[in-house]
């Protein structure tokens, strides 16, 4: 009992310090999943255990590694050109048990901006990369955009919000299942799924396995390290780190003493870096530059990480080659339009039981319940009281296709809320 109490105190202290130390559970998650489904090890090895020679660093400074550098036998055909930008549509599933976990649209957009700066090497702290590693630092030519179209073809904000009865989520993927209090993934061939919620045990995030089950594909991030606004701690680098795993990168020390991360231009190091190192940190005969503690795939504090390498950029982009595990995603059109505004400040209180937006509607109507959704159906009536559309209430945020309705005034009732709400169709 005393040991359990000490552990609990440790985790609470960790929370109180703002999670200054990286707490990535991806390696633990991979080990657990591999033991349950051994064939995942084989799939993963096809993309993550390539020899160090497969990802060489013999390129000119600033050049993006491309298919010409891939050795024969690797999945090199059909790779996007080294100058092309791979755009990844993103859906953020917000799971909240308390209102503080229902992070704002501004916080989500701030995180997307951070990802784009980090993966394009447009981050302001890029100038802090030590001289020994500056020529290895890479613009990965990968960008992230909130989805503008959902799996049904309807406009979306790229944000799904769902109130849950689950107080804490572990690394058991419950956060990815509607039946278990989370929210189901959107098609991973068309979207990067990001789940935010209250992760347990000091875990800040974890990423799925390459070649794993589609319904588990994506990354999970603790709500209060997502972005850098509102109540978020840090600089949003947990998502940068976990998406690096989702794109095939390992921890820079290879998850073992002087291990190998499969990338030639990342020097070996004995263990994860902690805090905010400076100067040359030698280990594992990695002179003269020492450890690359400023790499996004180390455990250094957010404010002291600032780079991916050329080899890491090549490895991430190789997943989008023809035959690669992310190939279909490279051609997804789900972020080609302008996302809907997440028009309601979802953290604000409201005297109304439900909110409707946009109103007037031009083809899609979103209904947000301010408390747990009521039992029953949503029914839409025309101006003379005839029911013209009906569907079952399944979650706290419902999107309704109203494209078949003629222009005019309509009224909507939801379950036993007791009153009708007016909206207008106007094209």
Predicted local distance difference test score (pLDDT) of residue 81? 57
Residue 83 gets which letter from DSSP? T
Domain that holds residue 263: 20-331
Looking at the fold, whether 324 and 359 belong to one and the same domain comes out as no
Q: How confident is the model at residue 408 (pLDDT cuts 50, 70, 90)?
A: confident
Q: pLDDT by residue (tens digit) across 212-240? A: 899 999 999 999 999 998 878 889 999 99
Is 96 inside any structural domain?
Answer: yes
Cα-Cα-Cα-Cα torsion 287, 250, 47, 237, nearest 10 degrees, comes to: -120
Let me know if 242 is a catalytic residue: yes
Q: What φ, ψ does residue 402 adopt, rounded to 5°?
A: -110, 15
Looking at the fold, whether 259 and 377 belong to one and the same domain comes out as no
Looking at the fold, whether 210 and 314 belong to one and the same domain comes out as yes
Predicted local distance difference test score (pLDDT) of residue 340? 75
For all residues of the chain together, what is the average pLDDT?
82
Predicted local distance difference test score (pLDDT) of residue 6? 36
Count of domains observed in the chain? 2
∠ CA 256-168-114 to the nearest 5 degrees? 65
Say if residue 155's pLDDT is above 80.
no
Q: pLDDT by residue (tens digit) across 62-76? A: 333 333 233 322 333
- Of 331, 365, 390, at which residue does a domain stop? 331
In this prediction, residues 135-164 reach a mean pLDDT of 92
CATH code for the domain in which residue 383 is found: 2.60.40.3080
Predicted local distance difference test score (pLDDT) of residue 38? 52
Q: Which of 74-83, 290-299, 321-330 has the lowest mean pLDDT?
A: 74-83
Looking at the fold, whether 325 and 387 belong to one and the same domain comes out as no
Is 5 inside any structural domain?
Answer: no
What is the enclosing helix (H) or strand (E) of 109? Answer: helix 105-119
- The 10 Å CB-count burial string (b at 16+, else e) for 114-143 is bbebbbbbebebbeebbeebeebbbbbbbe
- Of 298, 331, 364, at which residue does a domain stop? 331
Is 13 inside any structural domain?
Answer: no
Looking at the fold, whether 71 and 165 belong to one and the same domain comes out as yes
- Of 265, 298, 331, at which residue does a domain stop? 331
CATH code for the domain in which residue 188 is found: 3.40.390.10
Q: pLDDT by residue (tens digit) across 102-136? A: 999 999 999 999 999 999 999 999 999 999 999 99
In this prediction, residues 182-191 reach a mean pLDDT of 97
Looking at the fold, whether 368 and 316 belong to one and the same domain comes out as no
Predicted local distance difference test score (pLDDT) of residue 62? 35
Is 44 inside any structural domain?
Answer: yes
- In terms of C-beta distances under 8 Å and separation of at least 24 residues, what long-range contacts does 121-129 make, across chains too? 121/307, 121/308, 123/306, 125/303, 125/306, 126/306, 126/307, 128/294, 128/304, 128/306, 129/294, 129/306, 129/307
If phi over 0 gives left and psi between -120 and 50 gives alpha, with beta otherwise, what is residue 151? Answer: alpha
What is the percent of the chain with per-residue pLDDT over 70, rounded to a whole number? 79
Q: Which of 2-6, 144-148, 376-380 has the lowest mean pLDDT?
A: 2-6
CB-based contact 369:161 (threshold 8 Å) = no
Predicted local distance difference test score (pLDDT) of residue 45? 52
CA–CA separation, 83 and 141 (whole Å) = 7
Within 8 A by CB and 6+ apart from 79, the residues are 66, 67, 70, 317, 318, 320, 321, 322
What is the enclosing helix (H) or strand (E) of 412? Answer: strand 408-414
CA–CA separation, 255 and 7 (whole Å) = 23
Cα-Cα-Cα-Cα torsion 218, 224, 230, 234, nearest 10 degrees, comes to: -90
Looking at the fold, whether 358 and 403 belong to one and the same domain comes out as yes
∠ CA 259-217-91 to the nearest 5 degrees? 120
Is 305 inside any structural domain?
Answer: yes
CA–CA separation, 251 and 340 (whole Å) = 36
pTM of the predicted structure, to 2 decimals: 0.73
Looking at the fold, whether 188 and 106 belong to one and the same domain comes out as yes
Looking at the fold, whether 380 and 420 belong to one and the same domain comes out as yes
Is 8 inside any structural domain?
Answer: no
Looking at the fold, whether 315 and 369 belong to one and the same domain comes out as no
Is 343 inside any structural domain?
Answer: no
Residue keyed to tokens 């279909």: 328
Number of Cβ within 10 Å of residue 3's Cβ equals 7
Identify the active-site residue in 242, 303, 352, 353.
242
Cα-Cα-Cα-Cα torsion 195, 197, 200, 202, nearest 10 degrees, comes to: 90
Is 276 inside any structural domain?
Answer: yes
CB-based contact 175:188 (threshold 8 Å) = no
Looking at the fold, whether 48 and 155 belong to one and the same domain comes out as yes
Q: Which of 39-43, 283-287, 343-347 has the lowest mean pLDDT?
A: 343-347
Looking at the fold, whether 146 and 271 belong to one and the same domain comes out as yes
């Amino acid at each position: 009992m005393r040991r359990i109490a000490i552990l609990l105190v440790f985790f609470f202290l960790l929370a109180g310090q703002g999670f200054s130390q990286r707490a990535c559970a991806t390696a633990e998650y991979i080990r657990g999943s591999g033991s349950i489904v051994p064939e995942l090890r084989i799939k993963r090895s096809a993309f993550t255990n390539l020899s160090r020679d497969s990802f060489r660093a013999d390129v000119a400074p600033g050049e993006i590694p491309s298919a010409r550098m891939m050795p024969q036998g690797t999945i090199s055909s059909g790779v996007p050109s080294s100058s092309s930008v791979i755009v990844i549509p993103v859906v953020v599933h917000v799971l909240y048990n308390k209102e503080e976990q229902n992070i704002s649209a501004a916080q989500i957009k701030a995180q997307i901006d951070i990802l784009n700066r980090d993966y394009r090497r447009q981050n302001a702290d890029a100038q802090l990369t030590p001289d020994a590693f500056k020529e290895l630092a890479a613009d990965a030519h990968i960008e992230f955009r909130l989805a503008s179209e959902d799996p049904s073809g309807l406009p979306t904000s790229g944000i799904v919000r769902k109130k849950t009865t689950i107080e804490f989520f572990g690394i058991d993927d419950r956060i990815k299942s509607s039946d278990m209090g989370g929210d189901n993934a959107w098609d991973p061939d068309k979207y990067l799924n990001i789940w935010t919620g209250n992760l347990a045990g000091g875990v800040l995030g974890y990423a799925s396995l390459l070649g794993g089950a589609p319904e588990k594909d994506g990354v999970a991030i603790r709500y209060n390290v997502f972005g850098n606004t509102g109540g978020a701690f840090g600089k949003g680098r947990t998502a940068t780190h976990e998406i690096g795993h989702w794109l095939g990168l390992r921890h820079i020390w290879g998850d073992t003493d002087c291990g190998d991360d499969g990338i030639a231009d990342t020097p070996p190091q004995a263990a994860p870096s902690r805090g905010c190192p400076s100067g040359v940190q030698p280990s594992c005969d990695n002179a003269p530059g020492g450890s690359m503690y400023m790499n996004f795939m180390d455990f250094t504090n957010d404010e002291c990480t600032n780079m991916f390498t050329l080899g890491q950029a090549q490895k991430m982009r190789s997943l989008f080659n023809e035959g690669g595990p992310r190939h279909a995603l490279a051609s997804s059109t789900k972020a080609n339009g302008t996302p809907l505004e997440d028009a309601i400040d979802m953290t604000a209180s409201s005297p109304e039981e439900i909110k409707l937006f946009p109103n007037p509607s031009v083809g899609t109507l979103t209904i947000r319940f301010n408390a747990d959704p009521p039992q029953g159906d949503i029914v839409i009536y025309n101006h003379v009281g005839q029911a013209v559309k009906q569907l079952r209430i399944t979650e706290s945020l419902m999107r309704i296709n109203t494209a078949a309705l003629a222009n005019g005034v309509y009224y909507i009732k939801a379950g036993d809320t007791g009153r009708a709400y007016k909206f207008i169709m106007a094209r």
